[in-house]
Structure 1
């Protein structure tokens, strides 16, 4: 008779085998070579069991990315005392991940992920604080400092930082801190601080 611990341990082994198999396909070829059939066969698991945990290949490969790629970022909330500095620190944290996902090897991954995941969660890869919660913590602090008026910002505005970063990935461009700082000064700050007008 199986002990109560057998099934959870088997689940962990299956999950490891699935993620390792999916990641190997990406490393040996690229994201486009990943199919759920190939992963199921390589991991010696049924497609039914595979789909139970991962409904599509983008979700599966993002889980493998978080597990195996050293460029997957665990986000921390910046607290530099000014919105521009906080945006700069947040974006700087994400540079390794953005540049990794911009490689041709991962072409198509982010666009497929966008079909099933809300925009503000696309960049939430490694376990920990998600991009949206980090951003909102930053914006609440900026609101207290009267740099912005948070209740005047629409969802379109609060989604803009994620959208700009996702655009860099989709364009398959390697970015520098200077590139991202320009996005902040030329686009994000003018848009976000426009809400200050409401304070007058």
Structure 2
């Protein structure tokens, strides 16, 4: 806006506006602002930063209220060749001292996995459901012409068994936790298998 007001003509082109922006300088919230004609960005000479140290004010703090105070510890001014850092005060750390604390110890990373017993139980339950549905599916197919099976509708029984088969087999991927890639794949397989099996089984019940 300032550059637009300083153009020579009321009607100007984008190139003229850009040229005027590079020649514009003003005082902003962060200090004087000017632009580098070669890059179009803010010139280094107009940059100024302050480093504030915020720490607890023990004199004005109590058990129910914690007060803080801040002070400028350094001012960084931009120069043509390099930034100039002016140290004004020593930095006060969390322990109240002026010596930087040591680095944090490395995190104790432990990967929590299912125990062998839980995995075995999952395989037993999932395998029991899978083999039971396979056996019952074969039983329905082998006796599909009998009156009792025909009255129960083999298609309905097949959909119910197939949905139960998918829900049962969804238990097995949850026990596989060997590598990161396998864990990611099995975590995606479990809800897909279970929800597809649930949808197929209950769609057979309500149709």
Q: Shorter-chain TM-score category?
A: under 0.3
TM-score, normalised with respect to structure 2: 0.20
Taking structure 1 as the reference length, what is the TM-score of the superposition?
0.20
Pick the structure with more strand per residue. 2
Q: Which has the higher contact order (CA 8 A, sep 6+)?
A: 1
